[in-house]
Amino acid sequence: MDSSVPPADDRYLRAFHAVCRAGTLSAAATGLHRSQPTVSYQLRQLERSLGTALFERRGRRLVLTPAGEALRDFCDRFYAEYARLRSGFPAASPAPRPLRIASVSGYGRYVLVPRLAECLDADVAPQVSFPPATEVFARVRDGAADLGFAHYRSSSRELRCVRVFSERLVLVHPRRWRIADADALGGLPFVTYDESDALVAQWFLGALGRPPPKYRSAAHFEEIEEALHWVAQGRGVTVVPDFCVPADERRVAVLETPRTCTNAIHAVLPTGAVTAEAKRLLAALKAGGPGRTGRVRSRRDRRT
């Protein structure tokens, strides 16, 4: 087993258990409300963290290996025992106050969620989802979310947007690729994800001062992490916020450009009543300032 690989994420265990119970990737993805490529990616990451194969493909069927059967049995016992313990706990009183948050994935997963514990009272229970920006606006407008976060503003009169963060956008490519200059980008395969079209356009305008050329998608995924994994495999390039690129990922590199491309993240609120919890979270985020966190530094950055 690769000792540099972190322990298995609980999301990956739940995805694995869902596939075992549902019988197919597509059925498991439907039950988890995720895309099939997302579930497939999570299974690969789980196998990588464990250092062993969990499934064998036989035609269109997925068949558990002996290691997979052992892990399935463990998950059966674990989740059954967890349900039993949970049912025996006394009900919490008073019930925590829910705060429904919809956020674009990059900012939500890497910046917002790590800050929630310090920004929210202990009796507030955040419920965070990561839909595309258009769905963020729709959920806040329809009352399905108390607060949203998106990487561009809405023009709807039913919503108001407040700038809370500034992210740095970078183009990431396989490290072994030698890209002579930005003019070569139009001929390269791009790895896209649900939010990538807007970010690619923003990067070309901000970093190069021109609109993006026509480009072909080598693959499309739901999540940024899947796109970065594909780039690390040497399959194409992608544009992401810099904090999404793991600092210890040695298989990718950031393309240096004459200018730094920044992009504003906006909190999305209804123009009408806003919950007290949403107001407090927004005030805490604004108090921290609209700064940014950068995990990837170019060679130019390191010289300064």
Q: Which domain holds residue 280?
A: 97-166+263-295
Same domain, 59 and 74: yes
Do residues 255 and 204 make contact, with C-beta atoms less than 8 angstroms apart?
A: no
Contact by Cβ (8 Å): 20, 78: no
Half-sphere exposure of 48 (CA within 13 A, CB side): 12
174/235 same-domain check: yes
Same domain, 187 and 247: yes
The pair of three-digit structure tokens given for residue 136, joined into one six-digit string: 């963020």
Q: Are residues 182 and 255 in the same domain?
A: yes
Pairing of strands 238-241, 159-174: antiparallel
Instruction: Mark whether 174 and 258 lie in a shared domain.
Output: yes
**3-class DSSP state for residue 16?**
helix
The CATH number for 46's domain is: 1.10.10.10
**Where residue 219 sits, what CATH number does that domain have?**
3.40.190.10
**CB-count burial class (<10 Å; 0-12, 13-18, 19+) for 295:** middle
Same domain, 176 and 140: no
Any domain includes 257 = yes
Are 201 and 177 part of one and the same domain?
yes
- The verdict on 84 and 137 lying in the same domain is no
Q: Is residue 251 part of a domain?
A: yes
Whether residue 1 lies inside any domain: the answer is no
Tokens 């349900």 appear where?
Answer: 83
Per-residue pLDDT, 3: 47
Yes or no: say if 53 and 65 are a contact pair by the CB < 8 Å rule.
yes
Distance CA(133)–CA(263), nearest Å, equals 14
Residue 292: the pLDDT is 47
Instruction: Tell me the three-class secondary structure of 180-228, residue by residue.
Output: CCHHHHHHCEEEEECCHHHHHHHHHHHHHCCCCCCCEEEEEECCHHHHH
**Which position has the token pair 């250092």?**
51
- Residue 300 covered by a domain: no
Name the domain count of the chain: 3
Question: What pLDDT does 233 receive?
Answer: 94
**Residue carrying the six token digits 């049995």:** 73
pTM of the model: 0.65
Distance CA 41, CA 37 (A): 6
Domain C-terminal end among 62, 88, 114: 88
Instruction: Write the CA distances from 119 to 125, 127, 129, 281, integer angstroms.
Output: 12, 14, 18, 6
d(CA 284, CA 162): 13
Q: Is residue 2 part of a domain?
A: no
Distance CA 246, CA 225 (A): 10
Check whether residue 153 and residue 269 sit in a common domain.
yes
CA-wise closest residue to 49 among 18, 17, 77, 10: 10
Secondary structure percentages of the chain, helix, strand, coil, to 5: 45, 25, 35
In this structure, is residue 303 part of a structural domain? Answer: no
What is the full per-residue pLDDT of the chain (304 aa) written as tens digits? Answer: 444 545 667 889 999 999 999 988 888 888 887 788 888 888 988 998 899 999 988 877 789 999 999 999 999 999 999 988 988 887 656 667 889 999 999 999 999 999 998 888 888 899 999 988 999 999 999 999 999 999 999 888 999 999 999 999 999 999 998 887 777 787 889 999 888 888 999 999 999 998 888 888 889 998 899 999 999 999 999 999 999 998 888 999 999 888 999 999 999 999 988 989 999 999 998 876 544 444 444 333 333 2
Spatial separation of the C-alpha atoms in residues 156 and 228, rounded to whole Å: 33
Residues 58 and 118 in one domain: no
Same domain flag for 187 and 205? yes
Q: Are 156 and 117 within one domain?
A: yes
Quote the pLDDT of residue 215.
83
Main-chain dihedrals φ then ψ at residue 56, nearest 5 degrees: -120, 140
Last residue of a domain, one of 47, 70, 88: 88
